[in-house]
Amino acid sequence: MTRTLVTGGAGRLGRSVVAALAASGREVVSVDRVAAEGLPAQQFELDLLDDAARHELFTRVAPEEVVHLAAIPAPFAAPDDELYAVNTGLASGVLGDALRVGTRALLAASSPTVIGYGAPEGWAPAYLPLDEAHPVAPWNAYSRSKVAVEELVRETAEREGARIRLGTFRPCYVIAPEEWAGAPTQQGHTLLERLAQPELSAVALFNYLDARDAGAFVVAWLDHADAVPNGAVLFAGARDALVRGPVREAVAAHLPSAADAAEALGERDALFSSARAEELLGWRPTRSWRTELVEVEGE
C-alpha cells in the first residue's frame, strides 16, 4: 500500500483530498497544526516550520508520495513579510525533507491568484479562458509566495530529474462539501450570497472548485505523474462560472477590463481552463453549483 503524506490535511481542501486518497487505497498520513474529526488518516499535530519536528516526522513516515497543501491560505491573512516567509518556508522545508527520505512524487498547491487579477492598478487578461500559458503577474505577498513555490518546484525538477516527480496545481476557489448546504465559504459569505451578489465572486473571476473534485485531481495526478512534464503546473477548476445568467454579461458588468476577452466564452463557461489536466490526467470535474446547490437546481 502506498503511503501518502498530506500537509494541511485538516483544512477545507485537505479533508477532501485525504478522503479521496484513502478511497483510492492509499495509506494516508495527515499533518496539520490541528487534527480533524473523522479523517481517514493517521494524524500528526505539529508546526511544519519546526525543522526538528518536520525532520522527525518525515523520517518516521518515509512517505512515497507527498501532497503539500499547508499554507497561509489567502491574501492579506497575515502581514506581508510573515505570509511570504511562511508559505515559501513551508514549501522549501517539505520539499527538502521529501528529497531526503526518497519520496518519489510530490504535488504542491499554488493558486490562480498568480495570474494577477484584482491588482489595484488594474488588470486585463491577455485572453480567456485563462490557462497555464497565460503570463503571471503577482501583486501581493500571497500570490508572490505561490509564484515562488511554482518556481521552486520547477527548478528542483530540473535539478533532480527522474529522481522524483514534481508538480504544482492551481485549485480554483475551493468549496467544501458542507458549504453547499449553507456553511460559510472561505471569505465568510454563503454560496447563495455569492450568487445573489455577483460582485463577491467577480473579484476571483467567478472561479470555484468542489473540494471533492480537487481530491480526485490529486489522485489522478499521483496516479499519472509520469504523464505530466516534471515540474509543470496545472489549473483545476469547475467547468462553469459561479454566476447566474450569461457569463459574458456578468463579466461586462463586474469586470469590464475583461469584457472583450470574454466574447470567446460560452454562456456558462468558466474563465479558467482545466483542459490540460483533462488531456494529461484524464481528470474532469464532475460537480457544479447547478447540481450541488439544491436551492437553485432549476436555474
156-190 per-position pLDDT tens digit: 999 999 999 999 999 999 999 999 999 999 999 99
Q: Check if CATH label 3.40.50.300 holds for domain 3-296.
A: no
User: What is the Cα–Cα distance from 68 to 73, expressed in whole angstroms?
Assistant: 12
pLDDT at 296: 44
Of 66, 37, 67, nearest to 178 by C-alpha is: 37
- Tell me what pLDDT residue 297 has: 42
What pLDDT is recorded for position 294?
A: 65
To which residue does cell 465572486 refer?
A: 201
Residue 295 confidence (pLDDT): 61
What are the 10-residue block averages of pLDDT along the chain, 299 residues in total? 98 98 99 97 98 99 99 96 99 99 99 97 97 98 99 99 98 97 94 97 97 99 98 99 97 98 98 99 98 64
